[in-house]
Structure 1
Amino acid sequence: MTAGRTLGQLLFCSLAAYAFARIEFPGRDIIFVVVLSVLMVPSYVFLVPQYLIMKDLHWLNSMQALIVPGLFSSFGTFLLRQFFLSLPKELDEAAFLDGANHFQIYWHVVLPLARSALIALAILTILWSWNDLIWPLVVNDSPDKMILAVGLASLRGEHGTDFPALMAGAVLASWPMLVMFIIFQKQFIEGIVITGSKG
């Protein structure tokens, strides 16, 4: 689930961010404001509509139900758009003169330069997906489809909790995120700093 959401957000958010930052089209700013307005709505508001969509698609108790709603995020689009705005427009113009189209510029020019911002978004997405509890709990009730956070929550018993097992599970669940942050902390901090430097 974490890998699917992360790859989806890196692809779809970067494509949307490139369009909002580098391509002029009618209504671009209005559409971007609508995308940003999603950030002002609590995520719990979307639980019932998303659940009904998953039910109509017959995706309950499946990996699709866990991954598809998390393939795109307004925050990721905003983060990458801010980074893309900081890149000089001359890069696009030079690529256009060489005969490149928008997708080629996005893939060969902009994405390689956005490595630190993409790593920052990947780390944040991995962290949010790894710790997600409510959505997997809503769409999956099958024990073999439970993710780690739901499994840990199920260790709490109504008539007693095995706290040593719960704490051991919590430590095991947190160490992959800690190791990942230690490995990529330089790129993560660099991506956040560079992204916030231009508005």
Structure 2
Amino acid sequence: MTAGRVLVVAALVALTVVFIYPFVWLVSASFKPQGEVFDNKLIPETFTFDNYLSVWHEAPMLLWLGNTVLVTVLAAVTVTFSSALVAWGFAYFRFPGRGVLFGIVLATMMLPGAVTMVPTFLIWNALGQVDTLTPLWAGNIFGSAFYIFLLRQFFLNLPRDVFEAAKLDGASNWTIFRRIALPLTRPALIVTLIFEFQAAWTDLMRPLIYLRDSDKFTIPRGLKAVLDQFGFGGNWHWEIVVTASVITTVPMIILFFLGQRHFTEGIATTGVKG
């Protein structure tokens, strides 16, 4: 092994340690009693499972997890399908003003979230959806500019002759999209699903704006409540906070490992074809 390769491997190992250390510390702290949480030892001196029992007693974690799963699945599925549908329209159909319209869609990515926060809240408030889970996912029905761009680039690199042949055989535009285009873009669709799943799972801003009732909290909003109660509320039970954080982080790790092959394939293929 050459010296250059050794340096590269050493750098990768060092970066890996830097990235995984916070999570390893978090898991270790979740098995420590209150007085040892911040002793900075990766192997707990006093090993206990009491924190995992206490967190379910102190906070409705199961209810928050259920709310989060519902919102995340709906957000990921709706934005993936709607973005793919719009991207397919921009990639396949030829119509006047297509480039200008696509440019306007991309321009929406330049708008900071703070600009649309108040108007969006007023819309949901007028519809009577404040303090419900609907505003956390229903906006995805209209797609996302970033995902539309990503999927359009993928659709543009599909062989158009296949679609024309299908049309000659009598296939409708909907059939071509559903039975040919979508299966051919599965890696990109999986990337979109994972991206949006992670974004919806960790979203705190919208739950803070729209949710009032603790029974409707998602995991990030619930963690904020746990932090306020046990971290900064005078109780100083940080073992509860770190344990709740571990419980909410593990599902995302499992999701990544389950979709790792498709995720890596989608990123690589999109990078080559984009």
- The TM-score, its normalising length taken from structure 2, stands at 0.70
Say which of 151, 159, 162 aligns to 2:237: 162
Q: Distance in 2 between matches of 1:92 and 1:121?
A: 23
**Superposed counterparts of 1:30-49, under 5 Å:** 30-49=100-119
Alignment of 1:168-179 (within 5 A): 168-179=243-254
SS at match of 1:197: helix
Q: What runs of 5+ residues in structure 2 fail to find an aligned partner?
A: 1-70
Amino acid at match of 1:102: N
Q: 1:182 aligns with which of 257, 264, 271?
A: 257
In the TM superposition, residue 162 of structure 1 has moved relative to its aligned partner by 2.1
Unpaired segments ≥5 residues, structure 1: none
- 1:60 aligned residue (130, 133, 146): 130
Equivalent pair of 1:50/1:69 in contact (CA under 8 Å): no
Deviation at 1:197, TM superposition (A): 2.1
Who is 2:162 aligned against? 91
- Of the candidates 174, 180, 191, which is equivalent to residue 109 of structure 1? 180
- Alignment RMSD: 1.2
Structure possessing the higher radius of gyration over alpha carbons: 2
How many aligned residue pairs are there?
A: 199
Q: Identical aligned pairs, as a percentage?
A: 36
Question: What amino acid does structure 1 have at the position aligned with 2:163?
Answer: D
1:63 offset after TM fit, Å?
2.0
Q: 2:189 aligned with 1:118, yes or no?
A: yes
Q: Distance in 1 between matches of 2:272 and 2:144?
A: 21
| 1:20 alignment partner, one of 78, 90, 93 | 90
